[in-house]
C-alpha cells in the first residue's frame, strides 16, 4: 500500500484556478476524493429554474449554430484541443484526485479528449451525404445531413471527462449545442472542462451558450431527459439507468444514445501466447481498479492450459502496487466509494458460496488514517461453471475464471450474458480468430484478438449491443447520431414524371 496523499483540497483548488474555472461554492453537493474519502469542496447544485434557463440558452443558440458552416464550427473544437494540450497535466491530475485514476490513466483520459478533438476537426469538413441516381429524367436526388438540436450528455464517474468529449466534439461540429450533466462523483473535473470549453468558444468567436453545464442529482438528470427541446440524450451508466432513461425519451419521440453495462470476457485458447495473454488480462481486469465499462470480468480458458494461466495470474496479481493514484509506482488506485466496496465484497461472498476458489486478492487494504477510502486487492476467482452470478456486472476488480473444452462452447459462454459491450480472444489459430470476430462469433460491439477488451482507440466507433444499449460514440460514422437525415429531389426538367411509372391525370 503506497502512501495516501494529503492536502488534496488545496491542490484541487490550485488546479481549477490554473484552468480558469470558477467553482459554485456553498451548496449541498460535496466533491469527495476517493483517495482519502475526504471532501474537496462543497458545491451549489442547479435548481429547476437554472436547468430550464440553461436548456433554453442552448436551444436558442442552436438557431445560430446550425447555420454556421461546419468547418467554422470545427474551429471551436480545434481551440478546445489546443487548450487541452496546454492544460493536460492539470486536468489529468484533477481526474486522478477526483476519480481515483492512476496518473498515467488520468493523463491518458485527457489525451483521449485531444484525440477526439483532432478527429472531429477533420470530420467537420467531411459530413458527407450521397448523390443518388434518380429513375426520373431531369431529376437529381441527394441525401444530406443537418444539425439535430440540443444534445444532453449524462456521464459517469469512471471516465469523467473523456466521455463528454466523445459526444461534445462531434455534436459541436455537427451543429448541436451540448448540455452536460456529469456524475455527482466528478463535478470538479466537469467544471474545469466546461471552463476550457467556454474559453475555446470565445477564442473561436463561437457563442458560449453552445456548451452548458448542470450540476446536481437525479432530479437534474430527469429534467434534462424529459425536456422536449433536447433532441438527443447520450447517457453513460448502468443498464438499470438505461431502462429508466430510454422509455422517457422514447415517449416524447426523442433519440437516445446509450452506453450502459459491460460484462466482458476473454477466451484463452490452447495456442495462446500466455505471456501476452497475462499482460492483457491483468491490465484489463485490474486497471482503473476494475471500474471501466470495458473491464475484463470473465476469463474463459481452455482446460489444458487453465492451471498454468491461473498460476501466472496469481503471480502477477501478487506484484500489483495498490495505493494512492498520485504515486508514480501505483497501478491500482481506490474504488470510488463505499457502495462500490460493498458490491465487491458481496460478489466475492456469493462466488465462494457458488463453489468458487479465490486464487488471488479478495481483501480490503488499509488506507492509513483514511477509513473512508476504499482500497481492495484485485481478485481472481475460479468457478466450476459460468453461474448466474457471472451474468451480473460488479464494478470492481473482480475477475472470474471458468474452463472450457470446445471453442464453440467458449463463444457461447462469451455470449451468454445480457450485456454485449466488449470481448477478446487470445489465440494464434487463425481459424479461431476469424470465427471469433465473425457473425457467428462474439455478439459484442467490440471483438478483439490478442489484446484485452479495454483500451479502445477513438478512430473506431465505440459501443455495444443488448443491455449495453446499442449506442455508438467516437470514431467511424458515429457523427451521424448527432444529425438528422434529409433526402431531397430536385426537378430541373420541364416535365413532371412520377416515380414507379405512376400516372395521375
DSSP, residue by residue, 107-138: HHHHHHHHHHHHHHHHHTT----EEE--SSTT
The closest alpha carbon to 151, from 261, 250, 59, 52, belongs to 59
Q: What are the cell numbers at 356?
A: 468458487
Q: Based on the domain organization, do 187 and 279 belong to the same domain?
A: no
* Burial class, 63, CB count within 10 angstroms (exposed 0-12 / middle 13-18 / buried 19+): exposed
Residues pairing with 420 in the sheet? 465
pLDDT digits (tens, 9 = 90+) for 308-325: 999 999 999 999 999 999
Q: What is the mean pLDDT of the chain?
A: 97
Same domain, 155 and 249: yes
CATH number at residue 268: 3.40.309.10
For residue 130, being part of any structural domain is answered with yes
**pLDDT confidence tier of residue 489, bands split at 50, 70 and 90:** very high
Is residue 37 helix, strand or coil?
A: coil
- For the stretch 337-382, pLDDT in tens is 999 999 999 999 999 999 999 999 999 998 778 999 999 999 999 9
- Domain match, 168 and 283 both: no
281 and 200 housed in the same domain: no
- 219 shares a domain with 174: yes
pTM as predicted: 0.96
Closest CA to 411 of 436, 375, 382: 436
**Does position 333 have pLDDT exceeding 90, yes or no?**
yes
Quick one: cell of 384? 466450476
Catalytic residues: 259
- Containing structural domain, residue 136: 8-260+475-486
For residue 158, give the nearest of 77, 62, 280, 260 by alpha carbon: 260
Phi, psi of 28 (to 5 degrees): -95, -10
Average pLDDT over every residue of 398-425: 98
| 217 and 276 both lie in a single domain | no
Is 4 a residue whose pLDDT tops 70? no
In a domain, 492, yes or no: no
The confidence band for 5, taking pLDDT boundaries of 50, 70 and 90, is: low
Neighbours of 98 (CB within 10 A): 31
| Co-location of 316 and 422 in the same domain | yes
Tell whether 503 is covered by a domain: no
Same-domain status, 27 and 172: yes
Is 375 inside any structural domain?
Answer: yes
Q: What is the dihedral of CA 103, 107, 112, 117, to 10 degrees?
A: 160
Residues 143 and 285 in one domain: no
What sign does the dihedral 305-306-309-312 (CA atoms) show? negative
* pLDDT for 366: 85
How far is residue 435's CA from residue 431's CA, in Å, rounded to a whole number? 6
Q: Residue 321: inside a domain, yes or no?
A: yes
User: What whole-number percentage of the chain has pLDDT above 90?
Assistant: 95
Q: 504 vs 20, which has greater pLDDT?
A: 20
Read off the CATH number of the domain in which 37 is found: 3.40.605.10
Q: CA torsion angle for 214, 421, 170, 121 (degrees, to 10)?
A: 130
Band (pLDDT 50/70/90 cuts) for residue 500 is: very high
Give the β-pairing of 364-365 and 375-376. antiparallel
Query: What pLDDT is attached to residue 310?
Result: 98
Count of CB atoms situated within 10 Å of the CB of 311: 11
Give the residue among 213, 200, 202, 192 at the shortest CA–CA distance from 19. Answer: 192
Strands 422-426 and 446-449: parallel
pLDDT at 406: 97
**pLDDT band at residue 456, thresholds of 50, 70 and 90?**
confident
- The DSSP code for 210 is G
The gap from C-alpha 275 to its chain's centroid, in whole angstroms, comes to 28
| Average pLDDT score over residue span 14-39 | 95
pLDDT in the model for residue 6: 67
Q: Is residue 468 part of a domain?
A: no
Q: Above 90 in pLDDT, residue 397?
A: yes
pLDDT at res. 25: 83
Q: What is the pLDDT of residues 179-230, one digit of tens each?
A: 999 999 999 999 999 999 999 999 999 999 999 999 999 999 999 999 999 9
Contact 324, 333 (CB under 8 A): yes
C-alpha cell at 2: 503506497
Residue 214 has a pLDDT of 98
Q: Are residues 253 and 373 in the same domain?
A: no
**Residues facing residue 132 across a β-bridge:** 141
pLDDT tops 80 at residue 2: no
Averaged over 117-146, what is the pLDDT?
Answer: 97
229 and 107 inside one domain: yes
Number of domains in the chain: 2
**Pairing verdict, β 422-426 and 379-382:** unpaired
Tell me whether strands 264-268 and 422-426 are parallel, antiparallel or unpaired: parallel
Residue 504 lies in a domain: no
In a domain, 334, yes or no: yes
pLDDT digits (tens, 9 = 90+) for 225-282: 999 999 999 999 999 999 999 999 999 999 999 999 999 999 999 999 999 999 999 9
CA 291 to chain centroid: 11
Does 249 share its domain with 288? no
**First vs last Cα of the chain: how many Å apart?**
85
Between the alpha carbon of residue 137 and those of residues 51, 488, 500, the distances in Å are 52, 15, 13
Amino acid at each position: 500500500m503506497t502512501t495516501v496523499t494529503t492536502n488534496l483540497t488545496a491542490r484541487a483548488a490550485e488546479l481549477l484556478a490554473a484552468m480558469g474555472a470558477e467553482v459554485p461554492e456553498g451548496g449541498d453537493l460535496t466533491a469527495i476524493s476517493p483517495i482519502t474519502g475526504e471532501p474537496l469542496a462543497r458545491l451549489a447544485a442547479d435548481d429547476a429554474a437554472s436547468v430550464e434557463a440553461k436548456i433554453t440558452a442552448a436551444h436558442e443558440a442552436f438557431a445560430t449554430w446550425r447555420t454556421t458552416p461546419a468547418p467554422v464550427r470545427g474551429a471551436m473544437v480545434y481551440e478546445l484541443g489546443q487548450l487541452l494540450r496546454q492544460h493536460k497535466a492539470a486536468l489529468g491530475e484533477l481526474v486522478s484526485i477526483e476519480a481515483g485514476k492512476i496518473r498515467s490513466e488520468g493523463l491518458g483520459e485527457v489525451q483521449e479528449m485531444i484525440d477526439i478533438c483532432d478527429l472531429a476537426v477533420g470530420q467537420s469538413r467531411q459530413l458527407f451525404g450521397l448523390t443518388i441516381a434518380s429513375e426520373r429524367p431531369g431529376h437529381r436526388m441527394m441525401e444530406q445531413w443537418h444539425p439535430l438540436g440540443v444534445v444532453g450528455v449524462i456521464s459517469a464517474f469512471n471516465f469523467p471527462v473523456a466521455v463528454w468529449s466523445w459526444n461534445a466534439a462531434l455534436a459541436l461540429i455537427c451543429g448541436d449545442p451540448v448540455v452536460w450533466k456529469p456524475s455527482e462523483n466528478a463535478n470538479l473535473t466537469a467544471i474545469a472542462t466546461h471552463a476550457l470549453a467556454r474559453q475555446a468558444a470565445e477564442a473561436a468567436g463561437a457563442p458560449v451558450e453552445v456548451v452548458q453545464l448542470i450540476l446536481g442529482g437525479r432530479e437534474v438528470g430527469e429534467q434534462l431527459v424529459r425536456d422536449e427541446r433536447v433532441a438527443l440524450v447520450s447517457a453513460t451508466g448502468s443498464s438499470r439507468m438505461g431502462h429508466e432513461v430510454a422509455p422517457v425519451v422514447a415517449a416524447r419521440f426523442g433519440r437516445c444514445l446509450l452506453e450502459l453495462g459491460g460484462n466482458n470476457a476473454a477466451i484463452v485458447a490452447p495456442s495462446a501466447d500466455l505471456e501476452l495473454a497475462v499482460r492483457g488480462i491483468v491490465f484489463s481486469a485490474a486497471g482503473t481498479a476494475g471500474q471501466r465499462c470495458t473491464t475484463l470480468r470473465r476469463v474463459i480458458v481452455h482446460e489444458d492450459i487453465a492451471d498454468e494461466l491461473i498460476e501466472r495470474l496469481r503471480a502477477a496479481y501478487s506484484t500489483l502496487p495498490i495505493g494512492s493514484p498520485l504515486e508514480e509506482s501505483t497501478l491500482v488506485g481506490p474504488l470510488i466509494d463505499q457502495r462500490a466496496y460493498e458490491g465487491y465484497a458481496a460478489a466475492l461472498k456469493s462466488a465462494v458460496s457458488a463453489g468458487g476458489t479465490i486464487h488471488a486478492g479478495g481483501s480490503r487494504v488499509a488506507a492509513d488514517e483514511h477509513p473512508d477510502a476504499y482500497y481492495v486487492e484485485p481478485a481472481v476467482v475460479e468457478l466450476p461453471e459460468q453461474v448466474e452470478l457471472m451474468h451480473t456486472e460488479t464494478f470492481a476488480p473482480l475477475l472470474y475464471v471458468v474452463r472450457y473444452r470446445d471453442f464453440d462452447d467458449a463463444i457461447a459462454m462469451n455470449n451468454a450474458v445480457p450485456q454485449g459491450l466488449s470481448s477478446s480472444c487470445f489465440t494464434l489459430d487463425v481459424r479461431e480468430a476469424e470465427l471469433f470476430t465473425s457473425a457467428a462469433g462474439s455478439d459484442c460491439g467490440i471483438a478483439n484478438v490478442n489484446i484485452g477488451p479495454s483500451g479502445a482507440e477513438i478512430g473506431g466507433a465505440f459501443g455495444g449491443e443488448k443491455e449495453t444499449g446499442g449506442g455508438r460514440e467516437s470514431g467511424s460514422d458515429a457523427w451521424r447520431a448527432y444529425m438528422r437525415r434529409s433526402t431531397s429531389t430536385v426537378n430541373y426538367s420541364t416535365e413532371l414524371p412520377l416515380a414507379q411509372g405512376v400516372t395521375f391525370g
